[in-house]
A and B are shown apart, each in its own frame.
Chain A
């Protein structure tokens, strides 16, 4: 067992958003009581997976410090992130960087992409001269499979989605972060063109020792890329652990349903059973029990009232489900 503290530790993280109204305040609970760890002994890719509305993007923004938690805390290398952001903001930024979903939205349309790469160099004094800066930019562009000639001097709309995204990764790489938060980096890119970007991320882990918190709704991508996976539903963790274990042997009913629904690029293995899904989400009742209760195929009485806890049912495989954990 390694002695190093986990790279990222999230403890009982809860985030509630206030929804309008002077008289009747309503809250939207984006995430509730989230706890997980990203190990710190060696580079690791952990995926936060879930449908839209599951809270995964909220967790990403909380980790990046773009929003602050309602309850709970986030620890980076053992230190409280909120504290770090207050007093050592630049240090935290240097170690924890981000790549976002829309490859074009991260660029200010007014400038060419050069500025995008030059600002971190300037702000963090990464180069002593124009020449050094240029070399540094060359280096990171190469690491993502691009060249200066191809992308420098261009406006964001002149690049393809894949290129724009890779430049965004290059920018993050400039700061040599230890943790990269990648929020759906390939969702807006054609399925057939995702491979390059995914391989760039794997390369970052292998050659630059970067750990990645990868957020996606696409389990096939998660399976390819990650070491660990955390399955989210309606703001709570339903199952998590080693990605091979969770995907090849899902235990939580919701996760089983998800995995059965993934289209497989193999015409010989098609869905053969017809599944009836209840999709009615009209009234999401805030309840004390399991949020999956309405859609579950084998609900028990206690599921309605008592929130299931995450229990480690085999090494590095945790489930939050009364039906499973009572065994």
Chain B
């Protein structure tokens, strides 16, 4: 087993050594730390009407206040938490679902694979965005967990398909035959032989899932389909639209959430690019 510890150490070294991955990770970490500062500086949760509305940025309210009586700085920080929560929750669940389906379909083949593959294809073909819009409009109480569930349900298919193909090609490798000839059973093979060779693949899938979920969540909220009483970055943009903040020149309603979203995306993309470079040695610069 010690060889696995060594393996992880080497992997960690490799990851940290890659500039893109490292910078993405640092950016992400900084944003996350920013959101946690609410506990360090005892910034209270911004409930409606907790502070006077429509204030400009000042020493007391660093980013001013919005039209619903909330400290925008607090909204920003708690909003980041929401994005992380949904992103990583839905990202993890959808990747897990993708792995399960991809592994079973890819390795077992036959009827099971035919069925699973049709399900994957169905979800790939469905226009996700319109469906999410429709569902968001019709659901009575749209809370954050419900959103997370919805997003999970519609973002696992990409991972599943990619993982399935990878498993199918790995299955043909000679070391899998030897594993069968050494008496290993299906699940042992899936977890001990196939899974370790797919870690980088699954990690990349995960990061892409998270990116996709955060993007979709924010976009739904910007057009007003998010849970209305939540604190999130997308909703900040929605409210600024509603109140015509652009026209009125209230940049502190718009710039902060956009900047944070942009930085979030850049960091996630850097992570993906870095992972790609690491797992595909040909992309590495000598």
Touch test A–B (CB under 8 Å): yes
- Residue in A90, A109, A168 whose CB lies within 8 Å of B197: A109
B183 and A100 contacting across the interface, CB-CB below 8 Å:
no
For A108, what are the chain B residues with a Cβ–Cβ distance below 8 Å? Answer: 175, 179, 193, 196-197
Chain B, 1-18, CB within 8 A of any chain A CB: 3-4, 7
Q: How far is the CB of A312 from chain B (nearest CB, A)?
A: 34
Q: How far is the CB of A93 from chain B (nearest CB, A)?
A: 6
For A120, what are the chain B residues with a Cβ–Cβ distance below 8 Å? Answer: 182-183
In the complex, per-residue mask of B179-196: 1 if CB is within 8 Å of any chain A CB, else 0: 111111000000001001
For A119, what are the chain B residues with a Cβ–Cβ distance below 8 Å? Answer: 179, 182-184
Residue of B with least CB distance to A115: B3
Q: How far is the CB of A255 from chain B (nearest CB, A)?
A: 30
A98 and B196 contacting across the interface, CB-CB below 8 Å:
no
Residue of B with least CB distance to A90: B183
For A90, what are the chain B residues with a Cβ–Cβ distance below 8 Å? Answer: 183
A64 and B181 contacting across the interface, CB-CB below 8 Å:
yes
Residue of A with least CB distance to B198: A110
**Most central of A93, A107, A115, A119 by chain B CB within 10 Å:** A119
B59 within 8 A of A: no
Distance between Cα atoms of A119 and B181 in the complex (Å): 10
Size band of the interface chain A makes with B: 20 to 34
Q: How far is the CB of A71 from chain B (nearest CB, A)?
A: 21
Q: How far is the CB of B63 from chain A (nearest CB, A)?
A: 49
A193 within 8 A of B: no
B196 and A100 contacting across the interface, CB-CB below 8 Å:
no
For A111, what are the chain B residues with a Cβ–Cβ distance below 8 Å? Answer: 3-4, 196
A54 within 8 A of B: no
A110 and B197 contacting across the interface, CB-CB below 8 Å:
yes
In the complex, per-residue mask of A108-145: 1 if CB is within 8 Å of any chain B CB, else 0: 11111011100110011000000000000000000000
Distance between Cα atoms of A276 and B94 in the complex (Å): 63
For A284, what are the chain B residues with a Cβ–Cβ distance below 8 Å? Answer: none
A106 and B183 contacting across the interface, CB-CB below 8 Å:
no
Q: Contacts A108-B193, A108-B196 known; A123 to B183 CB distance under 8 Å?
A: yes
A106 and B174 contacting across the interface, CB-CB below 8 Å:
yes
Distance between Cα atoms of A300 and B120 in the complex (Å): 57
For B7, what are the chain A residues with a Cβ–Cβ distance below 8 Å? Answer: 110
For A107, what are the chain B residues with a Cβ–Cβ distance below 8 Å? Answer: 175
A98 and B173 contacting across the interface, CB-CB below 8 Å:
no
Q: Contacts A110-B196, A112-B3 known; A105 to B183 CB distance under 8 Å?
A: no
Number of interface residues of B (CB under 8 A): 17
Q: How far is the CB of A287 from chain B (nearest CB, A)?
A: 31
In the complex, per-residue mask of B72-86: 1 if CB is within 8 Å of any chain A CB, else 0: 000000000000000
For A112, what are the chain B residues with a Cβ–Cβ distance below 8 Å? Answer: 3
Distance between Cα atoms of A285 and B184 in the complex (Å): 41
A196 within 8 A of B: no
A66 within 8 A of B: yes
In the complex, per-residue mask of A59-70: 1 if CB is within 8 Å of any chain B CB, else 0: 000001010000
Distance between Cα atoms of A15 and B78 in the complex (Å): 64
Q: How far is the CB of A263 from chain B (nearest CB, A)?
A: 29
A100 and B174 contacting across the interface, CB-CB below 8 Å:
yes
For B4, what are the chain A residues with a Cβ–Cβ distance below 8 Å? Answer: 111
B183 and A66 contacting across the interface, CB-CB below 8 Å:
no
B177 within 8 A of A: yes
Q: How far is the CB of B184 from chain A (nearest CB, A)?
A: 7
A102 within 8 A of B: yes
For B179, what are the chain A residues with a Cβ–Cβ distance below 8 Å? Answer: 108, 119
For A114, what are the chain B residues with a Cβ–Cβ distance below 8 Å? Answer: 3
Distance between Cα atoms of A181 and B102 in the complex (Å): 33
B126 within 8 A of A: no
A82 within 8 A of B: no
A228 within 8 A of B: no
Q: How far is the CB of A26 from chain B (nearest CB, A)?
A: 20
A97 within 8 A of B: yes
Residue of B with least CB distance to A120: B182
B178 within 8 A of A: yes
For B183, what are the chain A residues with a Cβ–Cβ distance below 8 Å? Answer: 90, 93, 119-120, 123-124
Residue of B with least CB distance to A96: B181
Distance between Cα atoms of A110 and B4 in the complex (Å): 8
- Residue in A66, A105, A171 whose CB lies within 8 Å of B180: A66
For B197, what are the chain A residues with a Cβ–Cβ distance below 8 Å? Answer: 108-110
Distance between Cα atoms of A90 and B3 in the complex (Å): 28
Q: How far is the CB of B155 from chain A (nearest CB, A)?
A: 28
Chain B, 139-192, CB within 8 A of any chain A CB: 173-175, 177-184
For A168, what are the chain B residues with a Cβ–Cβ distance below 8 Å? Answer: 178
A100 and B182 contacting across the interface, CB-CB below 8 Å:
no
In the complex, per-residue mask of A61-92: 1 if CB is within 8 Å of any chain B CB, else 0: 00010100000000000000000000000100
Task: Please name 28 pairs of A and B residues whose Cβ atoms are closer than 8 Å in the assembled complex, sorted by A.
Answer: A64-B181, A66-B177, A90-B183, A93-B181, A100-B178, A102-B174, A106-B174, A106-B175, A106-B177, A108-B175, A108-B179, A108-B196, A108-B197, A110-B196, A110-B197, A111-B3, A114-B3, A115-B3, A119-B182, A119-B183, A119-B184, A120-B182, A123-B182, A123-B183, A153-B3, A168-B178, A171-B178, A171-B182
A interface list, Cβ under 8 A from B:
64, 66, 90, 93, 97-98, 100, 102, 105-112, 114-116, 119-120, 123-124, 153, 168, 171
20 new A-B contacts at CB < 8 Å, known A105-B175, A119-B179, A168-B178: A66-B177, A90-B183, A93-B183, A97-B181, A98-B177, A100-B177, A100-B178, A105-B174, A106-B178, A107-B175, A108-B193, A108-B197, A110-B196, A112-B3, A114-B3, A116-B178, A120-B182, A120-B183, A123-B182, A123-B184
Return the 6 tightest CB-CB contacts between A and B, nearest first: A123-B183, A105-B174, A110-B196, A108-B175, A106-B178, A119-B182
